[in-house]
Copies of this chain bind each other. A is one copy, B any other.
């Protein structure tokens, strides 16, 4: 039997979560379907006027992506918590924050990346022009990992609480708002001829900030929640 180091454990965590996702494929698909359905609810609720739709499209796609990735948060730790694996992670000899980082990476690959891929299609249906679609992709590519990272903290804080999935929404949404503003802002700026670069680089800065702070905060939150 061989000892493994931190990197090995992180890799193992990633592989494990991705394998689990493959076994529970319906989970991955449902986040996507949720995204599609929310976007397609809007024409139903707002009416089919394409000009109105085009003008609200960036906002709608972004809000839908935000809600979808928030909903997916419920699955980040809950199964590990319920079956006792999380307790085992806390007593594991690796830095918890790095394990959490690996977990979040897997979670983003499962629930964030598909959104980025699917968003242009939905944007197209709402009548967005081609170059705006590209900006949309970029903004989501930078924005969804930030949301996963922030969400990891919120989900850790509400772990095991009744009504956790609504509470997590309350905690996490206010922190998502800057992401939403810059993200939807980038697309709108692009559509109205102003450059989207300023917004995108702000999003990038948010991503860096979240990468540095969130795993650490999430690990601390997990220790508090499991006490």
User: Taking beta carbons and an 8 Å cutoff, which residues of A are in contact with B?
Assistant: 24, 26-27, 30-31, 33-34, 37-38, 41-42, 44-47, 52, 55-56, 58-60, 62-63, 66-67, 71-72, 74-75, 79, 162-163, 165-167, 169-170, 173-174, 177, 180-181, 184, 188
Q: Are A45 and B62 in contact (CB under 8 A)?
A: yes
Q: Are B56 and A46 in contact (CB under 8 A)?
A: yes
- Within the assembled complex, what's the spacing in Å between the Cα atoms of A163 and B73? 10
Question: Are A30 and B167 also in contact (CB < 8 A) when A41-B66, A63-B41, A180-B45 are?
Answer: yes
Return A192 CB to nearest CB of chain B, in Å.
10
Contacting A47 at CB < 8 Å: which of B31, B52, B163, B188? B188
- Within the assembled complex, what's the spacing in Å between the Cα atoms of A122 and B80? 38
Return A24 CB to nearest CB of chain B, in Å.
5
Find the B residue at minimum CB distance from A169.
B34
Return A126 CB to nearest CB of chain B, in Å.
12
Q: Are A27 and B72 in contact (CB under 8 A)?
A: no
Q: Are A173 and B45 in contact (CB under 8 A)?
A: no
Q: Are A166 and B30 in contact (CB under 8 A)?
A: yes
Q: Are A47 and B33 in contact (CB under 8 A)?
A: no
Return A64 CB to nearest CB of chain B, in Å.
10
Q: Are B33 and A46 in contact (CB under 8 A)?
A: no
Return A193 CB to nearest CB of chain B, in Å.
15
Q: Are A163 and B24 in contact (CB under 8 A)?
A: yes
Q: Are B79 and A162 in contact (CB under 8 A)?
A: yes
